[in-house]
Every structure is written in structure tokens, then in C-alpha cells.
Amino acid sequence: MIFGFLKPPPLSPRLTRLRETVLLNTLTPLELKIVDGLMHERRYLAGEIIFDEGEEGQALYLVTAGHVQISRTVNGVPEIITELSPGAFFGDLALLDNSPRTAQARAWDDCELAVFFRADFMSLMETDAVIGYKISLALARHIGARLRERMSIDAPHMEVL
């Protein structure tokens, strides 16, 4: 192969897992390494609370191993919203504002998460607008998809203005 020296080195297993998420799948290998350098790895034991409903949101979480259960309290009764697997992310609104968490996140089994704090994201937006743009666009698409899904569920009960 004549131009074999131009081939980028293979991604580490961690970077490969991060790249598989919808949030980061448009990043180049170099951009991915930059973002990975800003993320903090956290491990949680089965049943451990990652964050509670009502807490101030400070970070987005990417599931890299294990499973996370998202639930909220409705009329005093816990209601499971979803269970997330590796590749999924949650807490995304925390990157945009510091409003209270609307649900609880709990480790369903032993899990590993890559944590992206809002302060680091805001700093990245100032220092590398291209990466910030790519992540912001992925967030907007993800939030928009959730909103459309929610509206389709509530559509029969919604009043059109």
C-alpha cells in the first residue's frame, strides 16, 4: 500500500465506544480524543443512585458499560421511564442549563459512565467552535426527536392553538 502511512491509527476501545453514541458519531478521531480528554469516567454499583429527581443538573452521562434505569415520581409513585444500554446518553439538558433534574437515574447493574460536565462543555464551545457545533447539533436533534415522540403520545389529548 503506497499511502498506508496516511491511514489514521485505530481508535482505542474507549474511543470506539464513545464514537458509537449518537452524540459523538460525527466527530473525527482527533476531535473525539479532545472530547474524551474532557470526560470523567465514573463507576456505579448496581442500585446506586447516579442523580436524583430535583437535583441541579451539572453533567451529561454516556453509558459505556452496564445499564441505567431512568424513573420519576408521579403522584408519589415511582414510574420507570426507560432502561439505557451502552451507547445511550442521558442528562443532556444539563449541558444547556442548570434546571433541576426531571427524573432519577440509577445503576441497574454495575455500570461505567463517561461524564461530560457543563463547565467543560462551555469551555469547549469557546475554544473549539467546530466540535461545540457538532455536539450542539447532535443534542438539538436528540432533544427534538424526544419532543416529537412525546407530542405524538400526547397528541390525542393536546389542544391545538
Q: Is residue 161 a part of any domain in this protein? A: no
Residue 3 placed within a domain: no
Domain that holds residue 116: 13-153
Q: pTM, whole model, 2 decimals?
A: 0.84
Binning pLDDT at 50, 70 and 90, where does residue 4 land? Answer: low
| Residue in 39, 32, 71 with CA at minimum distance from that of residue 54 | 71
- Residue 28: which CATH number? 2.60.120.10
Count of the separate structural domains present in the chain: 1
In this predicted structure, the answer to whether residue 110 has a pLDDT above a threshold of 70 is yes
**What is residue 5's predicted lDDT score, i.e. its pLDDT?**
62
**Local confidence band at 139 (pLDDT 50, 70, 90 cut-offs):** very high
Dihedral of the alpha carbons of 31, 87, 139, 56, in degrees to the nearest 10: -110
pLDDT at 155 over 60: no
DSSP β-bridge partners for residue 70: 82, 105
Average pLDDT, the chain: 89
Residue 158 lies in a domain: no
Look at 150 and 46; give whichever has higher pLDDT.
46
Among candidate residues 89, 33, 82, the one with its CA nearest the CA of residue 63: 89
Q: Identify the helix (H) or strand (E) that includes residue 30.
A: helix 29-38
In a domain, 7, yes or no: no
Task: Identify whether the C-beta of residue 17 lies closer than 8 Å to the C-beta of residue 85.
Answer: no
Whether residue 6 is contained in a domain is answered as no
Length of the chain: 161
Stretch 18-30: mean pLDDT, rounded?
Answer: 92
Confidence check: pLDDT of 87 > 70: yes
- Mean pLDDT over 58-67 rounds to 96
For residue 40, is it within any domain?
Answer: yes
Tens of pLDDT, residues 6-19:
676 788 888 988 88
List phi, psi (to 5°) of 145: -65, -40
**C-alpha–C-alpha distance, residues 132 and 69, integer Å:** 28
Asked whether residue 4 is assigned to any structural domain, the reply reads no
- The pLDDT score that the predictor gives to residue 160 is 46
Place of cell 467546530: 130
Residue 70 lies inside a defined structural domain of this protein: yes
Which whole number is the average pLDDT over 51-73? 95
pLDDT at 132: 95
Q: Is the pLDDT of residue 161 over 50?
A: no
